[in-house]
Structures are given as structure tokens and as C-alpha cells.
Structure 1
Amino acid sequence: MYRIISLLLGYLFGGIQTASMYSEIKGVDIRNEGSGNPGTTNVWRVMGSKAGITVFLGELVKSIIPVVTSKLLFKKNKVISALYATIGTILGHSYPLFSKFKGGKGIAVTVGGIYMVNFPLGVITSVLFFTSLVITRMVSFSSLVMTGSIPFLLSKFFKGKSYKKEAVTLGTLISSITAYRHKANIKRIIAGTEPKLKKKLK
């Protein structure tokens, strides 16, 4: 039962479309601008860094709340409940009930959720993301690298724990959702046409 509650809690909070709400306040329909994706990256590209950071922080908050709440409610199963809440948030963000199931790609909420599952794990995934970003200058590829590392890191962090297998399975689901949501980006990466950051990172 705690799995279902955590999943639903995450889904409800994930469905809050921060990017769309912020852009509408600013008089912009982010769904009709740039890539049309109502997420942090598109807001950043279309409306600038200040808007991007604001939306990113909003995404973090909406992912942190359900994960922390689940951990507090289900202390005996806090790691697994936190992972279910994270997955719920990603699904809610990607397929929001009140926005015709058309949402963002879920990277910012994944970051917030993973940090709350295990802070050191979150730090490592962030390092991988930024290292990849510096090298490739592709946000999409770096997002895939970051989430792709999650099941392997969960396997290492929870080695010997009774819930390790389930944790790794859930981590694999997270990375699979990211891959699915980035399928168009993956095709462009393979074709060599995926957009890169304009300025080389230092």
C-alpha cells in the first residue's frame, strides 16, 4: 500500500506545471515557443537564465515535497517509498492529468527526487551531468548519462540491503522513462543534429 500512496503523492505534485504557469504569468505560452516542451531547458532557452533558474527551483520544490513526505510517512521503507514518489513525480510532470497528459521530460524533478532518496547519490549524478555537459555541450545527452547511472549507483549504495533488487529495478525504470521521453533527442544525437549550447562551457 505504501508504494501506491507514494506513487500517487508524487504524481499529484508532479502534475503541477511550473514552466507553463511561470511562462503564462510572463505572457508567454511556452508550449508554442522553442521546442514546445514545458520544461526548464526550453524556458531557459526561450526566456533566459533567470526564468530558467526560477522554473528549475520550482521543479525541485514540487519533487522534494512528495519524496520527503513519503519518507516521513513510511520510515521503515523510506528508500523504496522515496523512489516510488520520485517515479510518481516524473510521471506526473511528464503526463499531467490536467494538461492533457502533455508535460515536460522530467529531468529537473528527477534531480530533486534523487537528492532526497540519497544525497551523495544525487551529488554523483550531478557531477556526471555537468562533466558530460562540459564535454558534449548537449543537455539531452548529459541528462541520459545522469539518469543512466542511477540503477548502477543504487546497486552500489544499497549493496547488501534486502531492498537492493527493488531499488535497482526502480532506478532502471527512471532511466528508461528518461530514454523514452528523449527518443527524438536520441535520434538527433545519432544523426549528429542535436542542438548544443551556444557557448562552450569552461
Structure 2
Amino acid sequence: MTFTLDLLLIPLAYLIGSVSFAVVVSKCMRLPDPHTYGSGNPGATNVLRTGNKLAAVLTLIGDALKGYFAVMLARIMLGDQSLSSTMSSWVLCGVVIAVFLGHVFPVFHRFKGGKGVATACGILFGVNVILGMATLATWIIVATFMRYSSLAALAAAIFGPIYFVFLFGFQPMGIALLIVCLLLIWRHRSNIGNLMNGTESRIGSKKLRSN
């Protein structure tokens, strides 16, 4: 592909990210629009409020897969050396940011998207499997011991870019992942407030907050 055609991968990634699986799954399973109940957040945790665990799982998987698919599609189109090629790596960085922005601000759903935890996880696995596994392990460890899903997400978001630098050194992709990290933290600003004042719900509690 020429560089001009390569750039088309960025808006394509945004459109892929704009597909809200919380909305799609809810419509297919005849559940209420996730924007209309609970936290109003179109994510797996809010879908779980309907009591339909399958719908929540499908939402989680779908949101993760779209991040993974967008990155892997770009890597295939750019070539296997996309992380080491300066020009291609910047395009791949654009894809990473675009698919995440698509989830957070989806054009198909009036720019009212989710917080991006699952999509960010899919992105990391698309960039590198070891990177994805390390970040996922961070989420699991924090969630297991602290029992706060939001805190686990924040910890994983912070360590994701750090793991990338540890594995690959300072590359443009590290900047893209840092941007995703900052966006994810910003989307969790209400959860941060709840954590600070002690009102954030723990994993397994009956009172669920947005995730």
C-alpha cells in the first residue's frame, strides 16, 4: 500500500471502534438500550444490570475484538515490520488512537460511548500478545486483591505503556498507548472520585457502578 492509502486505515479504525457492541447485543437480544438505564454507559458492566450475563459477556468480547481486529488489520496491511518502520508505525499509532476514540465517541451512537477498558485490552493484544497478557495480568491481580474493577482498569492503563517501553524501548507506539491510557483515565474520572471518597462499589457487590 502507498502512504496515502495507508492513511485510510485511520478513519476505518474509527468506524470499527464506533460499533457499540453493548447496543448491538442489546438490540439482538431485545434488551433495553444501555444508554437508558443504570450508569448510561454502553459497556459490559451496565449491560449486566439487565441480569443477562450472556449479553454482558458478548459485549465484553465484542468490544475487545474490535480493538484487536482494527490493529491486526492495520498490521497486515502495513506489513509485519509495522512497529519498526518509522512511517508505518506512525500510521499504526493513528489506528490505535482512532479505534479507541471510536469506542469512546462513536459516530453511530451520537458520540456517547463506553469507557474503553475492553477495547484497550484488545488493542494491546493486537500490538503484541505478551504486552496484552502482561497488562491483563495486572488487571486480574489488582481486581483480585483490591476487588475494585475501576482501580484494576486504572492500574492496567498506567502499566500498559510502561510494559511497552520495557519490551520495545521508546517508539512512537508508546506515545499512542500513553494517549489511550490518559483517555481511559479521563473516562474513569467519576470512579476516581468514588474511590477517593470510599463510595466505589467492589466486585461482587450488589451495587454496580459504571465500568
**TM-score, L = length of structure 1:** 0.88
> Superposition pairs for residues 1-202 of structure 1, below 5 Å?
1=3, 4-25=7-28, 26-75=30-79, 78-79=82-83, 80=89, 81-159=91-169, 164-198=170-204
The answer to whether the 8 Å contact 1:68/1:82 transfers is no
Q: Which has the higher helix share?
A: 1
* 2:53 maps to amino acid: S
The answer to whether the 8 Å contact 2:142/2:152 transfers is yes
* 2:100 maps to amino acid: I
* 2:64 maps to amino acid: L
The answer to whether the 8 Å contact 2:69/2:126 transfers is no
The answer to whether the 8 Å contact 1:82/1:117 transfers is no
Bigger relative contact order (CA 8 A; separation at least 6):
2
Q: Which runs of 5+ in 2 are unaligned?
A: 84-88, 206-211
Cα distance between partner residues in 1 of 2:95 and 2:45 = 23
**TM-score, L = length of structure 2:** 0.85
Percent sequence identity over aligned pairs? 27
Q: Tell me the alpha carbon deviations over residues 154-188 of structure 1, each in whole angstroms, 9 at most, x when there is no partner.
A: 111112xxxx3422211211110101111111111
Cα distance between partner residues in 2 of 1:190 and 1:77 = 43
Q: Which runs of 5+ in 1 are unaligned?
A: none
> Aligned-pair distance for 1:196?
1.2
SS of match in other structure, 2:39 = coil
Cα distance between partner residues in 1 of 2:177 and 2:33 = 33
Cα distance between partner residues in 1 of 2:171 and 2:73 = 23
Number of residue pairs the alignment of both structures matches: 195
> Aligned-pair distance for 1:35?
1.2
Cα distance between partner residues in 2 of 1:171 and 1:28 = 33
The equivalent residue for 2:86 is none
Q: Tell me the alpha carbon deviations over residues 46-78 of structure 1, each in whole angstroms, 9 at most, x when there is no partner.
A: 333221111112112222221111001112652
Cα distance between partner residues in 1 of 2:50 and 2:96 = 27
* 1:8 maps to amino acid: P
The answer to whether the 8 Å contact 1:10/1:88 transfers is yes
Q: Tell me the alpha carbon deviations over residues 123-182 of structure 1, each in whole angstroms, 9 at most, x when there is no partner.
A: 0001100111011211111111111111111111112xxxx3422211211110101111
Deviates more, 1:79-88 or 1:95-104: 79-88
SS of match in other structure, 2:14 = helix
Cα distance between partner residues in 1 of 2:142 and 2:71 = 27
Cα distance between partner residues in 2 of 1:134 and 1:126 = 12
